[in-house]
Structure 1
Amino acid sequence: MTKKSDAQFVIQKIQPGLLGLMDGSVSTLAPIFATAGLTGQPIKAFYVGLAASLGAGISMGLAEALSDDGKVTGRGSPITRGAITAFATALGGMLHTLPFLIPDLHRALHFAYVVVICELLAIAFIRYKFMKTPLYSTILQVIVGGGIVFAVGLWLGSAGS
């Protein structure tokens, strides 16, 4: 690939996917963990996570597709970018939602914690590899940002119960 085609691939495919993965992974944390804390029932957290993941996927996909037509920016087809962003957002939210299918709340939470850490590290690695962000700073940024949202969810889950 040439430098131009590398850059196009990043801006047209990787960036929309990364945007979605980051949004899905981070924005769904608070509602899922707050629900788990409030209800003590993993299945309710699962359904909140499912709704949040799918709703966020649809919303982010539309936002990306409608943000520009790609002609001026060179960002490519809005339909393709929207689809990539929608899928990645839903996936990012669902990965840490799936552990709540485990009936035991403590097991579900511990498994979800591990999944969240893996998600955040994967996002940091993608930013490092494709966006050329220094690994240490991208890990710090992603972990701190995700950690803040995660803490808000845990705090709300314990405050409301």
Structure 2
Amino acid sequence: MPIKKHKQTAKESSAQYVLQKVQPALLGLMDGSVSTLAPLFAAAGLTHQTHKAFFVGLAASLGAGISMGLAEALSDDGKVTGRGTPILRGAITGFATAIGGMLHTLPFLIADIHVALHFAYIVVGVELLAIAMIRYKFMKTPLWSTILQVIIGGGIVFLLGIWLGTLGVSD
């Protein structure tokens, strides 16, 4: 008796897309957006120099992107879990991590530290809301609880960076 091949339904195809593409991208965006906040804002507070803060943010973003990309690629070969190819998942996660870290780093290309900081604060808020909306849309999490979770988590790291940026400053 011939074995019938399972034809993938639209719902299964959508779930596979979320599992193999959206989830790795969301993981990267969340990590990049949150993990780079503390070093970036600490550097801005300690140096009061936008170009130095920019390079700290750049290094943190690229380093986190490489680290997260490798971690995702090496964590699962995808055969048992159906999470897709490790190379593609790692590339998606690594790229999204670097982008998540760079978005709030780019304002530090502005020479005035106060203007750069205000732009960066706005970008951080937009990033965290965008992550919450992606979680809501694709992961089907309740909107207000996901906004609260993302903003509290990001806010803690953000405040840590601001606080660390005030230490060692004696002016």
TM-score by length of 2: 0.93
**2:36 maps to which of 28, 35, 51:** 28
- How far did residue 2 of structure 1 move? 1.0
Matches within 5 A, 1:22-61: 22-61=30-69
AA matched with 1:115 = V
Alignment of 1:3-152 (within 5 A): 3-152=11-160
The gaps in structure 2 that reach 5 residues or longer are: 1-8
Output the CA distance in 2 between the equivalents of 1:115 and 1:4: 35
> Whose Rg is larger?
2
**Higher helix fraction: Structure 1 or Structure 2?**
1
Q: Deviations over 1:114-137 (max 9, x none)?
A: 000000000000000000000000
Q: 1:160 Cα shift?
A: 2.2
Moved over 2 A (4+): none
Aligned letter for 1:44? K
Q: What secondary structure is seen at the aligned counterpart in 2 of 1:154?
A: helix
Tell me the matched-pair count.
161
Tell me, which stretches of 5 or more residues in structure 1 are unaligned? none
Structure 2 counterpart of 1:150, which letter?
F
Please give the TM-score of this superposition, normalised by the length of structure 1.
0.99
SS of structure 1 residue aligned to 2:17: helix
